[in-house]
Structure 1
């Protein structure tokens, strides 16, 4: 059992670091330890802020490092009462702030404190904002990025030499980045490697420095090891810069017994019929050939594994073109599809009428899907909230 950290001997605070630049510029907000058993993000933030304090550079804008679930970090547990990265629902937050939700958990308190920091930053600074959430996985993995598939997220993520995963927000409810995406700012998750590995810490540090350069907070020539950082990530990702989308989530309920068969890693191809896990003493096998993603090798978690597939480049190009010309408005003219309200940011799909429509069509146009009931989908336009105009002067736009 790892020794629990203490606030006294680690100096762990909510604000791990803040660098104020000499000139106006972007505001970068990094999160580490949203899951308490993922120390690499915290370690990387502490290291880079220490380096920056010792060697001030010509930074533009502001850089912040934010600690996540501090009580869970101190006990090296994913969470104490409930997953902090599944609690970010506007209705629940409003109920908490009105004092209507009881009992209040440790994660509720952490969420409200982090939310207070986010609100303070949004009030204190002018855009553009970049929110980056550092994570690690319980299995071996290539480093990768997860994004809500707005074009500004996609364009920014393309700068990094790692694979990019689209569509995870359709399968996970309540992550902090889903909440932040509603503000329309660039936000992404970076999964740097396996929990507590040195490779994960190194990858987070590299990602931090590359982020400073790609956002324009720092000039490339000022980062002495820029090429080394880029090469480290590229090598760690095995030269994989493909886009993928989630196609399946294997869910685990509270109280279930689940054990992944040893040896699987993310991005591993599995064949139909491969034994993957045991769930409540029953065997779980792959229903078809696919690419395994984030197999669960820890005690806490609600996802046994995901399956993904690679997105061809022509599909990505078509998707960008259709969104540019606002082709989503054609959807409302299709049988079984109608706008939910006058804002035209969400569509209701009647599956009894539109049962032959593919989810892929909605994905191309920038919509995410959520099941309302057996016969209806609610699809929400990711592009509607994206504040593209704030990033038009960014070097990557």
Structure 2
């Protein structure tokens, strides 16, 4: 096993002496050619199910219970140590936004991006393990369809889709950045295009492919089991370890298509929408402060509704649903 640390050099007093200043990775490599897989936990510090699952797999590999068959595997159980020790989503800012290296880092997460970017660039695939607040179903997120556009050109759609299905979650959300760009255009400057670039988008920009897994509620022990199963699934798919996983018989993919911004503090939703709540074309989804009704433009479902969103921020996304 290879253990390495990426040293972070603090440049301001926001990083105190009792905060970790290093990221630790755990790596295994074989002489047999194969893919290079990277797994992150705790990109958001209060999302720790992935951390616990990764630590299980570190012990399995270290003890010899599991061995790497081919390629290279790297695990980072805590990608944001400052946020992790605070048990909060962010240290100084959201690490999964503006994931762009900079030669003038201004905060802790800027340093983390600079440290993690070369690691991402040196791997083929990324599994980024997250969790969420509140109730809901676990799901995986994939990127764009194959395209040669300027926003997020991509040519590894089939590999990424197989990767998402391998984690064993029947719910998949597809197509984040293109719809987020609509939010940027509608935000009156409140959000910028680079805010849409996270670990996955950066990985794709460097020729790799990536998925995010939302493994369940932050405090639910079952989220750890789900994250554990996700790691097993991708190791099995890539034939990197002898692990047994149960296949999923049917998948539902929600293709993100539109976003609505909250334009006024008195804009209100018709009800407390939850992730993946279905609607029919013409259903009343929300009402603007001036009485304008927002009607569903197609049959679909809600994605990431935030009833208390700030003005000029994303209020809710809409998606088309495909059962397969």
Aligned to 2:59: 50
Gaps of 5+ in 2: 1-16, 146-156, 181-195
The alignment partner of 2:34 has SS state of strand
User: Which whole-Å deviations, capped at 9, do the CAs of 1:35-70 have from their partners, x for residues lacking one?
Assistant: 222111112111221232223434122221123222
Q: How far off its partner does 1:116 sit?
A: 4.0
The alignment partner of 2:130 has SS state of strand
The alignment partner of 1:71 has SS state of helix
2:84 matches 1:76: no
The alignment partner of 1:85 has SS state of coil
TM score, norm. by length of structure 1? 0.58
Change (3 A) 1:197 1:260: farther
Q: Which has the higher contact order (CA 8 A, sep 6+)?
A: 2
Question: Of 109, 133, 142, which residue of structure 2 is paired with 1:138?
Answer: 133
Matches within 5 A, 1:1-12: none
The alignment partner of 1:23 has SS state of coil
Gaps of 5+ in 1: 1-6, 314-397
Which of the two has greater helix per residue?
1
Change (3 A) 1:241 1:116: same
User: Which whole-Å deviations, capped at 9, do the CAs of 1:176-228 have from their partners, x for residues lacking one?
Assistant: 21111022223211121222322221111001011111001013xxx2xx24x
Question: Of 208, 232, 235, which residue of structure 2 is paired with 1:209?
Answer: 232
CA RMSD of aligned residues (A): 3.8
Matches within 5 A, 1:65-144: 65-66=75-76, 67-89=78-100, 93=101, 96-97=102-103, 99=104, 104-119=106-121, 122=122, 129-144=124-139
**Structure number with bigger Rg:** 1
CA distance in structure 2 between the partners assigned to 1:304 and 1:284 by the alignment = 14
Aligned to 2:321: 310
Question: Of 260, 272, 278, which residue of structure 2 is paired with 1:269?
Answer: 278
CA distance in structure 1 between the partners assigned to 2:294 and 2:218 by the alignment = 26
Question: Of 290, 293, 307, which residue of structure 1 is paired with 2:303?
Answer: 293
Tell whether the 8 Å contact from 2:61 to 2:67 is kept in structure 1 after alignment.
Answer: no
Question: Of 216, 222, 230, which residue of structure 2 is paired with 1:193?
Answer: 216
Question: Of 154, 167, 175, which residue of structure 1 is paired with 2:161?
Answer: 154
Count how many residue pairs are aligned between Structure 1 and Structure 2. 276
